[in-house]
């Protein structure tokens, strides 16, 4: 039986083309779905990072007020001729009281690779905020070590430590300024993941 009829060859070609088109369409749909899911993950990560930055901002504002008040207190105590003693609680002194900031959303976005889908400049600005947070953590570690070893044993060293905290908090606030809720909508649309 000969199968050289023009209709038979045409149907094989048509069948081959439809299989190729179906496979290509499947790849296209799968790629679209993956891109869509990646955008959703990036948007969720971005929103969680914004929430985390907001929580950290509120915590740092509270610490900033405390440090300003305590540096004033320590300055007035340094002016007195009496020897060093830890300020008492009636003055509002609660120790160095280091900030404890969250970075879980940023760490998760980084470790899962989701942050790689952010606009480069946006990812860079977010990373700067968390880099300053790392500096705050290093200062906290150094302060705790100095407390344990007895190196924070005078008003001036306490005051300098609080002033360094204040400077790092100001740097953090400056870096995080564009992520204040009222300013997020001013970010370029192409910077916001998922848009």
Tens of pLDDT, residue by residue over 73-88, are 888 888 888 777 777 7
Tens of pLDDT, residue by residue over 49-104, are 999 999 999 999 999 999 999 999 888 888 888 777 777 777 888 888 999 999 99
Long-range pairs, 149-157, Cβ under 8 A, ≥24: 152/96, 153/84, 154/84, 155/74, 155/75, 155/77, 155/78, 155/84, 156/74, 156/78
Q: Cα(117)–Cα(59) distance, rounded to whole angstroms?
A: 29
Q: Cα(94)–Cα(91) distance, rounded to whole angstroms?
A: 9
Q: What is the pTM of this model?
A: 0.78
pLDDT value for 188: 52
**C-beta atoms surrounding 85 within 10 Å:** 8
Question: What does 1-16 look like in DSSP terms, one character per residue?
Answer: -----HHHHHHHHHHH
Tokens of 154: 């005078």
Q: Cα(133)–Cα(107) distance, rounded to whole angstroms?
A: 12
Long-range pairs, 125-129, Cβ under 8 A, ≥24: 125/175, 125/178, 125/179, 126/49, 126/179, 128/175, 129/53, 129/172, 129/175, 129/176, 129/179
């Amino acid at each position: 039986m000969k199968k050289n009829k023009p209709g038979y060859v045409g149907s094989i070609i048509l069948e081959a083309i439809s299989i190729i088109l179906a496979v290509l369409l499947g790849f296209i749909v799968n790629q679209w779905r993956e891109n869509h899911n990646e955008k959703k993950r990036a948007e969720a990560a971005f929103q969680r990072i914004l929430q985390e930055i907001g929580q950290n901002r509120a915590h740092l504002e509270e610490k900033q007020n405390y440090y300003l008040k305590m540096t004033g207190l320590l300055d007035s105590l340094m002016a007195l001729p009496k020897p060093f003693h830890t300020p008492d609680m009636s003055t509002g002194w609660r120790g160095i009281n280091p900030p404890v900031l969250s970075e879980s959303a940023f760490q998760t976005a980084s470790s899962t690779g989701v942050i790689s889908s952010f606009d480069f400049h946006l990812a860079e600005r977010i990373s700067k905020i968390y880099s300053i947070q790392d500096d705050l953590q290093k200062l906290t570690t150094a302060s705790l070590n100095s407390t344990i070893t007895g190196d924070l044993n005078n008003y001036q060293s306490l005051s300098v430590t609080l002033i360094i905290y204040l400077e790092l908090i100001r740097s953090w606030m400056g870096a995080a300024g564009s992520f204040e809720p009222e300013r997020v909508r001013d970010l370029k649309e192409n910077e916001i993941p998922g848009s």
